[in-house]
């Protein structure tokens, strides 16, 4: 029998603080590395719309893989359904939205704003810097090996989005939208399975 999942509030609030804390980490690294990532915070409503649309492809891929019955993705399904999602059971939509927003802003500012910019400069090229920052992003998301690889691929996708727009805003919106919708859909699936007695 599985141990009971911790209460959502005991996990969600520290997670929100951690993700929001990445904004401070990014600001300190930006100052130390002199990447001037603040120039990537150019805001435009079109960037918000582009970010919302850009959340759809990774979300569709993730949802398809989680629902897939292929053995290759069994670890991803087991981790999402058995380990990660139970941590957020009982969280309100507002808490999930705040967590997703904090993750979108904090992680994108750190990985795409500061690290990608620094690595492109250090490595003397856009492609090596993009790939290296995406690999770091994947390494920071080692829920399973499969998820780490998928996260690295999403890191490349979001990194290209930043390079094409000259702004980190679309990546922030896409990341936050992806996280929020994925959490809500997975929680609803868990609840449906519980009601069905699976």
Triad 32, 33, 36: Cα angle to 5°: 100
Q: Which domain holds residue 147?
A: 9-191
Query: What integer pLDDT is reported at residue 2 of this predicted model?
Result: 45
Q: Supply 191's token pair.
A: 């609840």
- Per-residue pLDDT, 3: 47
Length of the chain: 198
Assess if residue 2 is contained within a domain: no
What lies within 8 Å, CB to CB, of 196 at 6+ separation is none
**Mean pLDDT across the stretch 156-165?**
97
Q: What is the pLDDT of residue 6?
A: 46
Question: Is residue 109 within 8 Å of residue 37, measured between CB atoms?
Answer: yes
Mean pLDDT of 158-166: 96
* 1 domain-assigned: no
Q: What is the spatial distance between Cα 109 and Cα 30, in angstroms, rounded to a whole number?
A: 9
* 153 assigned to some structural domain: yes
Position 54 in a domain? yes
In a domain, 50, yes or no: yes
Determine, yes or no, domain membership for 65. Answer: yes
> pLDDT tens for residues 107-138?
999 999 999 999 999 999 999 999 999 999 99
Q: How many domains does the chain have?
A: 1
pLDDT digits (tens, 9 = 90+) for 41-56: 888 999 999 999 999 9
Query: Is 196 a domain residue?
Result: no
Element (H, E) at 8: helix 8-33
> pLDDT class for 192, splitting at 50, 70, 90?
low
């Amino acid at each position: 029998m599985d141990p009971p999942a911790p209460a959502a509030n005991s996990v969600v609030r520290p997670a929100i603080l951690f993700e929001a804390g990445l904004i401070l980490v990014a600001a300190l690294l930006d100052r130390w590395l002199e990447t001037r990532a603040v120039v990537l915070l150019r805001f435009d409503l079109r960037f918000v719309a582009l970010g919302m649309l850009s959340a759809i492809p990774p979300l569709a891929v993730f949802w398809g893989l989680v629902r897939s019955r292929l053995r290759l993705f069994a670890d991803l399904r087991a981790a999402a359904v058995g380990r990660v999602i139970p941590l957020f059971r009982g969280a309100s939509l507002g808490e999930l939205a705040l967590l997703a927003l904090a993750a979108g802003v904090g992680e994108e500012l750190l990985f795409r704003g500061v690290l990608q910019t620094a690595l492109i400069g250090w490595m003397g090229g856009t492609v090596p810097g993009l790939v290296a920052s995406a690999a770091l992003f994947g390494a920071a998301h080692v829920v399973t090996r499969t998820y780490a690889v998928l996260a690295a691929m999403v890191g490349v996708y979001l990194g290209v989005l930043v390079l094409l727009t000259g702004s980190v805003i679309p990546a922030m919106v896409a990341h936050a939208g992806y996280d929020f919708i994925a959490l809500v859909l997975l929680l609803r699936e868990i609840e449906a399975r519980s009601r069905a007695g699976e």
